[in-house]
Structure 1
Amino acid sequence: MTKRALRVAIAPLLLLLHAAPAQAHIVSIRLGDFYAGALHPLTDLQDLILWTALGVLAGSLGAAIGRWLVLIFPLGLLAGMTAVHWLGTATIGPVLNASLILVLGLLLAAAPRIPLAGLCMIAFSVALLRGAVNAADLAPQSDRLLFAAGLACVGYVMITLVMALAVAFMQPDSMTGWRSIAIRSLGGWVAAIGLMMLGLSFAT
Structure 2
Amino acid sequence: MKRGLATILLFMTAAEPAAAHSPVKGIGIFYNGMLHPYLVPGHLLVLLALGLMIGQHAPSSSRYALPTFLVTFLASSALLWWLPIAPLPETLLLVVSLLAGLMVAVSVAPGLVSIFLAVVAGIVLGLNSNPEGVPPEQTGLALAGTVSGAVLAILYAGGLSAWLARFPSWPPIAVRVLGSWTAACALLVLVLQYAKTGAVL
- Give, in angstroms, the shift of residue 56 of structure 1: 0.9
Give the equivalent residue in structure 2 for 1:159.
Answer: 154
Correspondence 1:180 to 2:172:
yes
1:46 Cα deviation from its structure 2 partner: 1.9
- 1:23-55 superposed Cα distances (whole Å, 9 cap, x missing partner): x936xxxxx332222121122222222111111
Residue 113 of structure 1, aligned match among 100, 106, 109: 109
CA distance in 1, matches of 2:122, 2:133: 17
Structure-1 residue corresponding to 2:5: none
Query: Which of structures 1 and 2 has the bigger CA Rg?
Result: 1
**Residues 27-42 of structure 1 correspond to what in structure 2 (within 5 A)?**
32-42=28-38
What does 1:32-111 align with in structure 2 at a 5 Å threshold?
A: 32-68=28-64, 70-85=66-81, 88-111=84-107
TM-superposed deviation, 1:152:
2.0
Partners of 1:50 and 1:100 within 8 A in 2: yes
Determine if the alignment matches structure 1 residue 144 to structure 2 residue 139.
yes
Is 1:191 matched with 2:183? yes
1:135 alignment partner, one of 130, 139, 142: 130
**Contact 1:106–1:191 (Cα < 8 Å) also in 2:** yes
Cα deviation for residue 202 of structure 1 reads 1.0
Matched residues, number: 172
Deviation string 1:96-130 (CA, Å, 9 cap, x unpaired) is: 33322221222212222222x44233223212211
Matched with 1:25 is 26
Whole-angstrom CA distance in 2 between matches of 1:101 and 1:114: 14
Check conservation: 1:77, 1:128, Cα contact below 8 A: yes
Deviations 1:163-203 (A, max 9, x none): 11111111123xxx543333222222222212211111111
Letter of the aligned partner of 2:46 in structure 1?
Answer: L
1:86 deviation in Å?
A: 5.2
Task: Answer yes or no: is the 8 Å Cα contact 1:73–1:155 preserved in 2.
Answer: no
Which consecutive residues of structure 1, in runs of 5 or more, have no partner in the other structure? 1-23, 27-31
TM-score by length of 1: 0.71
- Aligned counterparts of 1:93 and 1:138: Cα–Cα separation in 2: 21
Q: For residues 56-87 of structure 1, give each alpha carbon's deviation from its aligned partner in whole angstroms, at most 9, with x where no partner exists.
A: 11110123432555543333222222343455
SS at match of 1:198: helix
Distance 2:113 2:99 in 1: 13
CA contact (8 A) 1:69 1:159 kept: no
Check the 8 A contact 1:78/1:148 in 2, yes or no. Answer: no
Query: Under a length normalisation based on structure 2, what TM-score does the superposition of the two structures give?
Result: 0.72
Contact 2:34–2:142 under 8 Å retained in 1: yes
SS at match of 2:162: helix
Letter in 2 for 1:169: L
Give the C-alpha shift of residue 93 in structure 1.
Answer: 3.1
Tell me how far apart the structure 1 counterparts of residues 66 and 89 of structure 2 sit (CA, whole Å): 27
The range that moved more, 164-173 or 82-91, is: 82-91
